[in-house]
Amino acid sequence: MEKIKLRGLPVISGWIFAFWGTVVTFKGFYDSFFGEPEANLYSLKKWEFISQQQWLTWSGFEIAYGIACAGIAYFLIAYSKRLPLYIEREIKETKSIF
C-alpha cells in the first residue's frame, strides 16, 4: 500500500492565493488614496500622461483582482477540509525496460 497526500495541494494553493490577494488589495488601496504613477515623476506637469481617472480605474482593477484572489483562497481552503488527508492504494507493478 502506498499513501498519497491529497489535502496538501489545495491548502498550499489557498495560502498562496491568500497572500497574493492581500498584497494586491493593499497596493490597490494605496494607489487609490496615496499613490501616483511613475510617469508623474518624469513629466513636466502632473497627470500629463496618465489621467487621474485612468489611475483610479487601474487601482480599482487591482482591488478587484486582490479580492478575487482572496475569494479563491477561501474556497480552496474550505474545499480542502472536505478532502481526506491521504488515500491509500495498492502499488501496481509496471512492466518497463528501465
Q: In terms of pLDDT, which residue wins out, 68 or 5?
A: 68
Q: What is the pLDDT of residues 19-51, one digit of tens each?
A: 999 999 999 999 999 988 888 888 888 888 999
- What does the pLDDT average to over 59-84? 95
For 69, the domain range is: 2-89
Report pTM: 0.80
- Domain contains 17: yes
Domain annotation covers residue 9: yes
Q: What is the 3-state secondary structure (H, E, C) of 27-73?
A: HHHHHHHCCCCCHHHHCCCCCCCCCHHHHHHHHHHHHHHHHHHHHHH
Evaluate whether residue 96 is within a structural domain: no
Q: What is the pLDDT of residue 85?
A: 84
Determine the residue type at 27: K
Domain tally, the chain: 1
Average pLDDT, the chain: 90
